[in-house]
Amino acid sequence: MPGRKRIIGGFSRITACISTTMVLILLGTVVFFVSVADNLGRSLKENFSVEVLLSDSISHHEAYLTQSFLKKLPPVRQISYTSKQEATQQQAEVLGSDPEEFLGHSPYPASFELLLKADYADNDSLDKYMEVVRRRPYVTDVIYPQDLMEAVNKNVKTASIVLLCIAVLLGLVSFTLISNTMRFSAYANRYTIYTMRLIGARRSFIRRPYLWQAFWIGLVAALLAILVLSGCLHALLSWDDGIRSLITPRVVATTGGTVLVVGILLTVLCAFFSVTRFLRLSGDKIHLQ
């Protein structure tokens, strides 16, 4: 009988570990895509640019002062200057002809191109700063894609809410599945728990081996899930190397850390509540379970 119990106990632990691993793989996948979606949204926002058009009468000194002013603005991440001559040359290459030949002058002004920080890439945050820029001397106009910016921010926000809801639901499902797995493990040992209560063992003493067992199950399951997710990540990068910029060390650390913490924390908590449930049952109810 003891040998049979050890076999059953070992099989129960293996089953609990496999079940927990599968749940953590699903949870890690959702966390990974939530993190990648956040990076994608920030990348899209940081690709928005603002063009500050300058008057033809601006001097080099005034252009330098304007550049210094723009660099100090909170939304500005990077700034580049295009002179009137450079702008004319670029357009001549695109059009295949020099506009000065038939117009007698170049219609393209000198300009600054501002690349934005992701946190400021929305119309509400940007309008108040750009209004100040418009009032600067020698600034003729400020151009940025307001409609596109609004559409991207709206879509990013919608996608984030959807992924967050999925993550919350999956978290609840994960808790339920892991809780059931730990409950079955405690159920298989309900008579042992009851016997230890009868001989006067403290509750903390009874719980301790089950909590340690749950800890090791959670740790092994989390490491297995991280191993599987790492293999999937490697395959994903091999399939399309272009997404490497979105999969930053922060994404990898967030995914792995979440899987590890959730795996250990949930199994230990579920084991604690499951064992506590059987500790509170009387002898008659133990036999009825």
d(CA 214, CA 170): 21
Does 253 have pLDDT greater than 80?
A: yes
Question: Three-state DSSP class for 75?
Answer: coil
pLDDT value for 280: 63
For 195, the token pair is: 């016997």
pLDDT value for 1: 41
10-32 per-position pLDDT tens digit: 566 777 788 888 888 888 888 88
pLDDT value for 97: 63
Residue that wins the pLDDT comparison between 197 and 225: 225
Backbone phi and psi for residue 16, each to the nearest 5 degrees, phi listed first: -65, -40
Q: For the chain, list the domains and their CATH numbers.
A: 2-43+152-288 (no CATH), 49-144 (3.30.70.3040)
d(CA 182, CA 179): 5
Does 41 have pLDDT greater than 90?
A: no
110-150 per-position pLDDT tens digit: 899 999 888 888 777 788 888 888 888 888 888 888 888 88
Q: In the chain, what percentage of residues exceed pLDDT 70?
A: 80
Mean pLDDT of all residues in 199-207: 73
Mean pLDDT of all residues in 156-168: 80
For 129, the token pair is: 């700063």
pLDDT value for 7: 38
Q: In the chain, what percentage of residues exceed pLDDT 90?
A: 7
d(CA 219, CA 60): 64
Closest CA to 54 of 114, 118, 95, 12: 114
Lowest mean pLDDT among 180-189, 212-221, 232-241, 276-285: 276-285
In this prediction the pTM is 0.69
- pLDDT band for position 197 (50/70/90)? low
pLDDT value for 289: 52
For residue 65, give Cα distances in angstroms to 58, 82, 138. Answer: 11, 15, 11
Mean pLDDT of all residues in 82-107: 70
Partners of 80 in beta bridges: 113
Does 5 have pLDDT greater than 50?
A: no
pLDDT value for 219: 92
